Amino acid sequence: MNKLLIVGTVAFDAIETPFGKTDKILGGSAPYIGLSASQFNVESAIVSVVGGDFPEAHLELLRSHNIDISAVEIISTGKTFFWSGRYHNDMNTRDTLSTELNVLSDFQPVVPTNFKKASVVVLGNLHPLVQSSVLDQITNDDALVILDTMNFWMDNTLEDLMAVIKRVDIITINDEEARQLSGQSSLVAAARKIHEMGPKYVVIKKGEHGALLFNGDNVFFAPALPLEEVFDPTGAGDTFAGGFAGFLTKTNDFSFENMKNAVVYGSALASFSVEKFGTERMCNLAPKEVFKRLQLFKNLTQFDIELT
């Protein structure tokens, strides 16, 4: 079976939206990516770190979705990475209220031996030096490497981030971050600039306005499903990345044509993630529901115009 390796934060999140507020719930880039990819029944593992304050129930939840967490280090004397954020009425923008790196500050990731030859590697959002260190341990030269990042790392560790971006095949990034990274306001120009930094494929996520996939002059666009109610957008980007990567791992076809389908799967899965707080919706998502939503996507975007 093809293998998917995920590195990312495993976190406590405290989230505030116009619909309510949570205390410290399970969050972090890696759980969202792993839970989303678990829809594809691929063999996956998470490399990350948590503190002694992290509940066993959260780890068990990941295990119960067949995610190998033997490389999630537990530092019993340390505290888990903590992030808190607040969304406003439009839900497209959020304020980060606090980011406490805690045990992530001096994390040295160790890739499990049986995942060094993974066919797909997702470098989820976390310190670029940790992302690089994971890449150094991969022994499959043909592995498809997907990197996700955010403005926090551009603001604080730009040089390290540029070094890891150079080494990856695909970058997934949101529109504002693409503008920040490239210094371009047009997303087409931004994608071109980011190509020059290394990645052959650039995915720009535009929240409720969908996602763009660029590969040189090839461009593909998938909308986001218009939802009546977005409850909590946290993790939508990671859920997208997990669906995108999970589909590519399962199909083992890394062509542009197949990546279009991966973008659609990513978008469909992200549309579930935002329906409840945190990871809740992704924990109880039946394949039947995903199938139905993909059908909705098809209906939403298919048209048969006659060009004479």
CA distance 268 to 264: 6
User: How many helices (H) does the chain have, and how many strands (E)?
Assistant: 11, 14
Of 12 and 40, which CB lies nearer to ligand AMP in the complex structure?
Answer: 12
Q: At its nearest, how many Å lie between ligand AMP and the CB of residue 79?
A: 14
Q: At its nearest, how many Å lie between ligand AMP and the CB of residue 283?
A: 14
Q: At its nearest, how many Å lie between ligand AMP and the CB of residue 225?
A: 17
Of 126 and 212, which CB lies nearer to ligand AMP in the complex structure?
Answer: 126
Of 13 and 73, which CB lies nearer to ligand AMP in the complex structure?
Answer: 13
Tokens representing 210 are 């969908």
CA distance 48 to 70: 10
Of 125 and 182, which CB lies nearer to ligand AMP in the complex structure?
Answer: 125
Sole residue written with tokens 């949570």: 22
Q: At its nearest, how many Å lie between ligand AMP and the CB of residue 269?
A: 12
Of 199 and 235, which CB lies nearer to ligand AMP in the complex structure?
Answer: 235
Q: At its nearest, how many Å lie between ligand AMP and the CB of residue 12?
A: 8
**Contact (Cβ atoms closer than 8 angstroms) between residue 194 and residue 178:** yes
Q: Report, in this order, helix, strand and coil percent for the chain, each rounded to 5.
A: 40, 25, 35
Tokens representing 300 are 């939403």
Of 84 and 119, which CB lies nearer to ligand AMP in the complex structure?
Answer: 84
Report the DSSP beta bridge partners of residue 211: 205, 222
Tokens representing 115 are 């995942």
Task: Describe the crossing of helices 128-136 and 158-165 by its angle, rounded to 10 degrees.
Answer: 30
- Measuring CA to CA, which residue among 215, 199, 305, 293 is closest to residue 258? 215
Q: At its nearest, how many Å lie between ligand AMP and the CB of residue 279?
A: 8
Q: Return residues touching ligand AMP (CB under 6 A).
A: 9, 11, 13, 27-29, 83, 99, 125-126, 150, 152, 234-238
